[in-house]
């Protein structure tokens, strides 16, 4: 547990240090890449949601509320495992 905490601390520090010298152009590129990743997750989620809806007989398994990006990431992680 302590090793994991140390690892997370070191990786967070390096991530913050990497962001310091970033130019506006680099930030824009990173934002575009993150938007692309989000759109891919949303497409995977919509496919997964349709499959879940079909399996449950037409009713949505998660209810009528929309899924968030965190929930989409959880579905993708569950599929990868």
For residues 40 and 75, is the Cβ–Cβ distance under 8 A? no
Domain range summary for the chain, segments of one domain joined by + = 23-80
Q: Is the dihedral of CA 70, 73, 12, 8 positive or negative?
A: positive
Q: What is the pTM of this model?
A: 0.41
Would you write out the chain's pLDDT as a tens digit for each of its 81 residues?
Answer: 889 999 999 999 988 887 788 788 888 898 999 999 999 999 888 877 776 666 665 544 454 455 566 666 666 666 655
């Amino acid at each position: 547990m302590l090793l994991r905490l140390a690892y997370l601390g070191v990786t967070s520090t390096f991530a913050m240090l990497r962001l310091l010298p970033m130019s506006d152009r680099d930030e824009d590129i990173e934002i575009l890449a993150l938007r692309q990743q989000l759109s891919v997750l949303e497409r995977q989620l919509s496919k997964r949601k349709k499959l879940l809806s079909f399996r449950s007989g037409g009713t949505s398994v998660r209810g009528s509320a929309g899924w968030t990006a965190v929930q989409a990431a959880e579905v993708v992680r569950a599929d990868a495992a």
